[in-house]
Structure 1
């Protein structure tokens, strides 16, 4: 239905009821206005743009995900609405914030709101985030709470009707420097047009790291998930009792701050990590710059091995005693000096003693123990239909008088456009996009004067 809504705007614009087309023309660059283009070229260009849009945005964007609660979903940040010059202390950053941003409010929006509510704004894609609820329209993005350009409300839903408070933040959302557009421990702004390195996402914090900043890694077919040293240190209790069968761990060189040695825990659990000779050659590795695309989907529960097939050393859920015999890391190894690369189905090897289970619940890490697919919006069946065709079909949805007005307006538009182009044909002049925009601007002024 969203394309039909756009089609209605198109019909309204040609009947003089909308200024959206005028605003679009005013935002065109001078080079675009003056570039020569044939009618065929223009139609081909429009068709190509619509095709690219359908590929990039295949899902419907007519529903905000706020009512779904805290879910694993694609998240976007609106740098326009997040700009808040009042709250400089709220979001001070070690690197320079994007040009023109003196202070930033940390907030994220869902896929639908990034299009329906923020289409004309400076929006960046943050990819998937776990346990995240859409911030669009809540108090931190409302104009009365900042001097930014907040939308003031979510265009897709009325939270008052949903008995939700717009005066409170989504307290369970976790924010980091990604919401400024910065990634990795090198803390640099991500530009998809210039970035050459491959990036890999940490399973826990969901930050993305450059392969060049990580250092050495197992080959992509050897591991399923990456966990950064910061998260290992933060959640060390979970890794002290994780089965050694689940991982490779990377020893971080103190001088370069990068992984220098990859060790398979099953082969080196009792070895001296400061003398890893003979272990590195047994683990397939890649240097930074190679293609790194580890799968991020979990195995489904029905694909997991039976309880009877599991390592008898693993503890049962709720046991008061953790499995001391399966320590992953030698005690003398500093957690802050280790990156971990998890093998497939590693979640099944997580210690399920009472202490670990309480820790998981307290820190909202339940997604470790269950299948947690990324929410995807329903595919839009109209995404491949040309907008012009939708506009024509849209006329059938109006009552007779409105449809007649639209048909008459289209006929008048065609007649006026032919009259406008006739002198160009007679003189052999090339028609530019700027000429066409001038034509529509004049029509709009004439309609305004007649009203």
Structure 2
């Protein structure tokens, strides 16, 4: 039913936008879809390259995958040797309802779920596993701590939250304010190496310096540089442009150095987070997006029904955001039962509203 001509509606009836008469706080369908698309793209980037149905243990030490630390199953010890990580599929199937720490991605990691570090939890996806994965690396991220400040994320005591950046070497996350140096003014960099890792691997400082054109013919790029001693002792973060790894020397001597330091991954094009995220996005290319499904559903409605649907969507999104915020504020993991309860309450409220309505006129045209 169209809005009556003799009555000014309290909210606009323009399809795709809800407008308040007193103040234009309208949200267009395009804005809703853009926000939804960004959230979906972020999720695909982190999770799209990981298997959500099968434990990755049989793949061994995976180049890069999404990982989680289970607080519920963790042996209460600060000993790094007791820390463990589980793959995406195990976080869903073996640790459902547990308190989990999202670790983003880590390199060369074999899923620990069900091994000796989980005496009371068995892996339901891969029952035969070794006692330990001796080549796994763990840091304080598995305890929910980050940066040199050893603080959690988000930090409830930090009144001025700061962006965090992941070091590509130690894979710890660092606050910008604790890096010891600032990123390029235009934020035009591909990867960051923290000050601790620059100190640990001083040869990297050679690649911060420009290479003289007449020295490029030398066999080893490191030997091509004249480096002052103090330049090899930089203890601040460095920011690296796209493709910088291609400049790393691959002579026999340097390759032996990388192997000795266990940092051969620097010469692996598939090691980068960017490569992993692109793989995840490509894996989702042929899947219908949430936006496509939403637009398909909206196209089957008339104009008034579209506006009602958008209004309901806005209300739902706001309520869900507020509901999930209570879990974040109380550091609780959202369980399947919680989501079921949320939708149950929505369904019951909608039923009561429909039972009490005596007219078919859209609520925003009354």
Tell me how far 1:172 sits from its aligned partner: 1.6
C-alpha spacing 1:381/1:351, structure 2 compared with 1 (3 Å): closer
2-side partners of 1:227 and 1:335: how far apart? 14
C-alpha spacing 1:381/1:352, structure 2 compared with 1 (3 Å): closer
2-side partners of 1:350 and 1:185: how far apart? 28
Partner of 2:298: none
2:198–2:235 CA contact under 8 A, matched in 1: no
C-alpha spacing 1:241/1:382, structure 2 compared with 1 (3 Å): closer
Residue segments in structure 1 that go unaligned for 5+ positions in a row: 1-50, 92-103, 144-150, 160-164, 247-265, 267-310, 387-420, 430-451
Two-structure CA RMSD over aligned residues (Å): 3.7
Equivalent residues in 2 for 1:144-163 (5 A)? Answer: 151-153=121-123, 155-159=124-128
Partner of 2:238: 340
2-side partners of 1:382 and 1:79: how far apart? 34
2:174 equivalent to 1:205: no
2:152 equivalent to 1:166: no
Equivalent residues in 2 for 1:1-400 (5 A)? Answer: 55=40, 61-70=52-61, 71-82=63-74, 84-85=75-76, 88=77, 90-91=79-80, 105-143=82-120, 151-153=121-123, 155-159=124-128, 165-167=129-131, 169-191=132-154, 196-214=161-179, 215-236=181-202, 238-239=203-204, 241-242=206-207, 244-245=209-210, 313-314=215-216, 323-327=222-226, 330-333=228-231, 335=233, 337-372=235-270, 373-374=275-276, 376=280, 379=284
Tell me how far 1:204 sits from its aligned partner: 0.6
Tell me how far 1:209 sits from its aligned partner: 0.8
C-alpha spacing 1:74/1:175, structure 2 compared with 1 (3 Å): same
Tell me how far 1:62 sits from its aligned partner: 1.1
C-alpha spacing 1:313/1:72, structure 2 compared with 1 (3 Å): farther
1:228–1:340 CA contact under 8 A, matched in 2: yes
2:168–2:191 CA contact under 8 A, matched in 1: yes
Tell me how far 1:313 sits from its aligned partner: 3.3
Residue segments in structure 2 that go unaligned for 5+ positions in a row: 1-35, 295-347, 357-366
2-side partners of 1:348 and 1:187: how far apart? 33
C-alpha spacing 1:210/1:89, structure 2 compared with 1 (3 Å): closer
SS of equivalent residue, structure 2 residue 266: helix
Tell me how far 1:115 sits from its aligned partner: 1.2
SS of equivalent residue, structure 1 residue 129: strand
SS of equivalent residue, structure 1 residue 344: coil
C-alpha spacing 1:137/1:239, structure 2 compared with 1 (3 Å): same
2:205–2:234 CA contact under 8 A, matched in 1: no
SS of equivalent residue, structure 1 residue 222: coil
1-side partners of 2:60 and 2:217: how far apart? 32
1-side partners of 2:235 and 2:184: how far apart? 17
Tell me how far 1:376 sits from its aligned partner: 4.1
Q: Which has the larger radius of gyration?
A: 1
1:243–1:350 CA contact under 8 A, matched in 2: no
Query: Number of residues paired by the alignment?
Result: 243
Tell me how far 1:334 sits from its aligned partner: 5.8
C-alpha spacing 1:343/1:354, structure 2 compared with 1 (3 Å): same
1-side partners of 2:217 and 2:238: how far apart? 22
C-alpha spacing 1:73/1:351, structure 2 compared with 1 (3 Å): same
SS of equivalent residue, structure 2 residue 106: strand
| TM-score computed with the length of structure 2 as normaliser | 0.56
Tell me how far 1:336 sits from its aligned partner: 5.1
1-side partners of 2:222 and 2:169: how far apart? 22
Tell me how far 1:80 sits from its aligned partner: 1.0
2:165–2:176 CA contact under 8 A, matched in 1: yes
Query: Which aligned segments of 4 or more residues in structure 1 are displaced greater than 6 angstroms?
Result: 192-195, 382-386
C-alpha spacing 1:331/1:240, structure 2 compared with 1 (3 Å): same
